[in-house]
Every structure is written in structure tokens, then in C-alpha cells.
Amino acid sequence: MILISIYNHIYEVLGFISKHPGEGISDTYLRTYRNKECTEDFERFHFTNEADEMLINAREQKYDEETKIYYVCPWFFKKKIPSYFHFLPDDKYGIKYMGDKNNNTFILRPSNSDLEKSLSLTYKNDEGEIYQLKIRKTEDNIWYTIFEDDEGEAIDVEDKYIENIITKIMIDNDYTGV
């Protein structure tokens, strides 16, 4: 999986590497941009609309069969795509992916229901049970969720940044991102 962000949208481009005409030119490789926002370099290296059209096609179709580029979701992060963010096109809920992971681990992934305003969390608790949690962005651009703590108490969690939400509900509760 190679996730990159261009023009405030995230794409998965692993399947495109073998088709990328600029791969290796000036010692530049798509893998170099993994989990990064790379609009500036994208504009520096692409002088025609062809590359833009590929991204537009991927965004409109969610997956462009010709280029093998997936559209993942909008850019929601502060500086880079966190390593715990996953795009799993063949495992929409992350259940299979989390099956063999350690207890007290999690992944963040694109939402299946509202790609533009929410993300989903799949986590495995200390008993090995897998759960889902939706994190939504409000009209005021605040991320919001209700998380149930170890005692079963519902806790409202909100923050301007998704990374801070993840810290409050996962990292601070001894979960590790995978």
C-alpha cells in the first residue's frame, strides 16, 4: 500500500508504479512519497493535464482500472498520513486484517458510508474482540465520536484534529496502531 496526498485527496498508487512514466527519472520514485502530502512535487514534475485527469478519473470512479489508482478519501490529517491509517479495498471493515493482529491494536480507515465527513476505527480489545467506531466531522470542522471506556462508560470525545481524537481514545488507553 502506497498512500499519497495530492490536492487535498488521498490516493493509493501501488498498482500504478509499473505504469508511472516518470518512475526513477531524476532519482524520484512514488515510494518516496508514501504517507506524504506531495502536491508541490506533483506540480513540479507534471507539465500536462494528463496526470491531473488520471487523478480525477480515480476520484470519480473510486478505482481507475487503467491506471490502477484508487481514490481513498479527502485529506484529513495535520502533516502526514499516519502509519495506522489503512486502505483495505478487499476488506471494507478491516475485520480480516485485524484478525491476526495483537490485542489492544487498531487501524484508522476511510469510512464506508460518508467518505467526505467521517473515518472509521477498527480495533481489537484486550479480549481479542474486534469493534468498529465511526468518527465524524461536524459542520464546525470538529471531529467527534462517542467512545466506551473499559468500564462501559460512554465518553464524548471531540477535537479539531483526527490525530488528537486517536490519541485520546486509543493511545491514552494503551492501544497501539498497526
Q: Looking at the domain assignment, is residue 88 inside a domain?
A: no
Q: Looking at the domain assignment, is residue 70 inside a domain?
A: yes
Contacts 24+ apart (CB under 8 A), 174-177: 174/104, 175/104, 175/105, 175/106, 175/123, 176/102, 176/104, 176/105, 176/106, 177/82, 177/83, 177/84, 177/105, 177/106, 177/107, 177/108
33 and 66 co-located in one domain: yes
Q: Which of 27, 45, 74 lies at the terminal end of a domain, its last residue? A: 74
- Model pTM? 0.90
Q: Looking at the domain assignment, is residue 42 inside a domain?
A: yes
Q: Looking at the domain assignment, is residue 65 inside a domain?
A: yes
- Domain ranges, residue 151: 95-177
Q: Which of 74, 106, 134 lies at the terminal end of a domain, its last residue? A: 74
In this structure, the strands spanning 105-110 and 176-177 are parallel
What pLDDT score was predicted for residue 17? 83
69 and 27 co-located in one domain: yes
Q: Looking at the domain assignment, is residue 81 inside a domain?
A: no
Q: Which of 74, 105, 126 lies at the terminal end of a domain, its last residue? A: 74
The domain tally of the chain equals 2
What pLDDT score was predicted for residue 85? 98
- Gap between the Cα atoms of 124 and 146, Å rounded: 17
Q: What is the mean pLDDT of each run of 10 residues along the chain (178 residues)?
A: 96 87 63 91 81 94 95 95 97 96 98 93 96 95 90 92 96 96
9 and 70 co-located in one domain: yes
What pLDDT score was predicted for residue 28? 63
What pLDDT score was predicted for residue 23? 58
Distances (CA, A) of 137 to 37, 117, 159: 21, 5, 10
Which of 160, 154, 98, 159 is CA-nearest to residue 129? 98
State residue 158 phi and psi, 5-degree precision. Answer: -145, 150
9 and 55 co-located in one domain: yes
The length of the chain is: 178
67 and 114 co-located in one domain: no
